[in-house]
Structure 1
Amino acid sequence: MNDALEISNVKARYCAASDLTPVDPAAALSGFRQVFTEDVVGDYGFRVFEGFEELTGFMTTVVAGSSDWMLHMVHTPLIAIDGDHATGDWTVMSQMKRSGSGQIDTVIGRYADEFRRTENGWKICRLRFERLA
Structure 2
Amino acid sequence: MTDADVQLLLDLRAIEQLKYRYLRTLDTKDWAAFEECFLPEATGDYNGLVFPDRAALVDYMRANLGEGMLTLHQVHHPEIEVDGDTATGRWYLQDRVVVAAFDFMLEGASFYEDRYVRTDAGWRVSHTGYQRTHEIHYRLSDQPHLKVTGPGVHKH
Residue number among 4, 7, 20 corresponding to 2:12 in the alignment: 4
Residue number among 24, 36, 44 corresponding to 2:46 in the alignment: 44
CA offset at residue 132 of structure 1? 1.1
CA offset at residue 99 of structure 1? 4.3
Say if 2:66 is the partner of 1:64. Answer: yes
Paired residue for 1:89?
Answer: 90
In angstroms, what is the RMSD of aligned CA positions?
1.5
Higher relative contact order (CA 8 A, sep 6+): 1
Percent of matched pairs sharing the same residue: 28
Question: How many residues are matched?
Answer: 126
Unaligned runs of 5+ in 2: 1-8, 135-156
Matches within 5 A, 1:1-133: 2-21=10-29, 28-64=30-66, 68-133=69-134
Give, in whole Å, the separation in 2 of the partners of 1:35 and 1:91.
19
Give, in whole Å, the separation in 2 of the partners of 1:6 and 1:109.
22
CA offset at residue 8 of structure 1? 0.3
Unaligned runs of 5+ in 1: 22-27
| 2:35–2:58 Cα contact (<8 Å) kept | no
Give, in whole Å, the separation in 2 of the partners of 1:58 and 1:33.
12
Runs of 4+ that moved beyond 6 A: none
Task: Give secondary structure in 2 for the equivalent of 1:64.
Answer: coil
- Normalising by structure 2, we get a TM-score of 0.76
State the AA in 1 paired with 2:42: V
